Amino acid sequence: MRTTPFADRWAERFGTTATAGRSSRLHKLVELVRPAVHGVPRQVAAADVELAADWVAVDFGDDLGDATEEWTRRHVDRGTLWFWEADGVPVSMVGHRLPTFGVSRIGPVYTPDEHRRHGYASALTAHVTGLILDQGNQACLYTDLANPTSNKIYAQLGVEAGLIFIDLEVRA
């Protein structure tokens, strides 16, 4: 990656070390494909905050720490957090950010292990993406380059791979 030589030179110049962390890719929707999957989407409601916060903690706990429930409540209040329900049971969750300069970022996307491989996250991501497009905005999302499943799923939904980002930690 191009960032590694820069980080190495920076670290050498300032007598520090640089360590590459998570690598992610920014994707932009090109053409939305909506998979046919059992279930229906619904917005996460105030009564669902505890379950949604638990799911957010699994996916983003390291980033949010003790603020997981606060983050979840804020997204519920904004109407930017969704469940996919199969037979009345939440089986997947997708959030999105409010648009900035006409672009809305999708995430987090989470499905508990016991509900994976049924297409729930794909269907819900397509639904949320459709809402973003219907409001006249563009949709984008980040994927972890180490997760081939999510990269494959998003390609099937019609998103195009774009820029790669690498989190670098520089220590003195």
pLDDT in tens, 18-38: 665 656 656 666 677 788 999
* Average per-residue pLDDT for the chain: 80
Would you kindly state where each structural domain of the chain is located, as residue ranges? 3-171
pLDDT in tens, 103-140: 888 888 899 999 999 999 989 999 999 999 999 998 88
CATH of domain 3-171: 3.40.630.30
Q: No. of H helices and E strands in the chain? A: 5, 7
Residue 86 scores a pLDDT above 70: yes
Arithmetic mean of pLDDT, 67-87: 92
Please state whether 30 falls in left (phi above 0), alpha (psi between -120 and 50) or beta.
alpha
The span from the CA of 94 to the CA of 44, in Å, is 10
Residue 163 has pLDDT above 50, yes or no: no
- Compute CA distances 18 → 5, 12, 116, whole Å: 10, 9, 36
> Average of pLDDT values for 142-148?
70
Model confidence, pTM: 0.75
In this predicted model, what pLDDT tens digit does every residue of 88-106 receive, in sequence order?
999 999 999 999 999 888 8
Averaged pLDDT for residues 28-49: 88
